[in-house]
Amino acid sequence: MSIQYEEQLPDGYGVTDSFPKDFGYGEDEEADIEESPTASDSKPRILLMGLRRSGKSSIQKVVFHKMSPNETLFLESTNKIYKDDISSSSFVNFQIWDFPGQVDFFDPTFDYAMIFRGTGALIFVIDAQDDYVEALDRLHHTVSQAYRVNPEINFEVFIHKVDGLSDDHKIETQRDIHQRANDHLADASLEKLHLSFYLTSIYDHSIFEAFSKVVQKLIPQLPTLENLLNIFISNSGIEKAFLFDVVSKIYIATDSSPVDMQSYELCCDMIDVVIDVSCIYGLREDGSGSAYDKESMAIIKLNNTTVLYLKEVTKFLALVCILREESFERKGLIDYNFHCFRKAIHEVFEVGVSAQRPLGPQAVGSPCNKAVALNGTPRNTV
């Protein structure tokens, strides 16, 4: 479905709550950490940890289940470990484990080694509006235990609920938490343990931006994707391009130019508009079809000579570009370059799938016989 809009640039940007809730991931399921490993347990695992009422479950519901931020006020406190299988695409393919705040990692009956051993990222959520002394102690004990079990874990700290703080208070809080957390690590001789800090809120796009950075670290194809985006925008006169996971609005890759928060918010809002309109007008009369398919495309022209251009890349990925009207006059060139870019993305996808298959006899010319150059770019074997 193709959509074209002429739109006035809004004064502010907010999170759109009208995104269809059934256009998302499956329901989260209660996890039994004693159960035997399954095929899904081999996926990269993201752990959500923190004290009670710090906002862990709200983050998961808003980002991956399209819950309105206001509805999270009625969520009950988590009292068991919940496992959410996120399998939207080959690039965003992981599990999220939401831990209750009262879990004691030092309990002898708690097998923390089993959990940390298969973890790709550990997100510790700190409530910035509360006294965070206890949270910092829990953070130190948690990451030090996890690091001893698995030094390859990416440790991320979400300084959460900052929507109620002034800009100066946000900066001061981040500086204070950063200083105290790293002092604790230095005292424990864990200087090699690196913590990344993000200011987040479910009431704006900061939580999506932060989760994008976390997920990108788990994508082995990221350098290749960034290189493809750089080549695409440099040959098309495009200012900025994002490769989005449509369901979550996480961008799994962007070009090497700095990310402007306002540009990212515009692209997120464009995805919301496209899916909302497609759900109304893009389905067949009997209700069949998909709101997002290979024909999905949208153009939005703003009143400041900026054009937003969205094109379908895969079933779950969309390319959203920001460019000037004069550059968009060469739409034929852009579309041709996009065709080449899309083909390259599918080759990267095929290489990723073939790399996960067990070794065995393969037919000549099959996707499993593709090779990868040193820079990660797919190429055919000779």
Secondary structure (DSSP) of 322-366: EEEHHHHTTHHHHHHHHHHHHHHHHHHHHHHHHHHSPP----TTS
Per-residue confidence (pLDDT) for residue 285, from 0 to 100: 73
pLDDT exceeds 90 at position 88: no
pLDDT, mean of residues 329-338: 95
pLDDT, mean of residues 159-185: 94
pLDDT, mean of residues 161-181: 94
- Residue pLDDT, tens place only, 133-153: 999 999 999 999 999 999 999
Per-residue confidence (pLDDT) for residue 4, from 0 to 100: 57
pLDDT exceeds 60 at position 371: no
pLDDT exceeds 50 at position 119: yes
Quote the CA–CA distance of 284 and 129 in Å, as a whole number.
48
pTM for this model (two decimals): 0.79
pLDDT exceeds 50 at position 353: yes
pLDDT exceeds 80 at position 226: yes
pLDDT, mean of residues 36-54: 74
User: What's the mean pLDDT when you consider all of the chain?
Assistant: 81
pLDDT, mean of residues 65-94: 79
Per-residue confidence (pLDDT) for residue 163, from 0 to 100: 92
- The residues, ordered by sequence, that sit 6+ positions from 343 with a Cβ below 8 Å of its Cβ are none
pLDDT, mean of residues 34-55: 72
- Residue scoring higher pLDDT (327 or 42): 327
Per-residue confidence (pLDDT) for residue 84, from 0 to 100: 86
Per-residue confidence (pLDDT) for residue 220, from 0 to 100: 86
- The residues, ordered by sequence, that sit 6+ positions from 374 with a Cβ below 8 Å of its Cβ are none
Q: Are 115 and 121 in contact (CB under 8 A)?
A: no
Q: Are 44 and 218 in contact (CB under 8 A)?
A: yes
pLDDT exceeds 50 at position 34: no
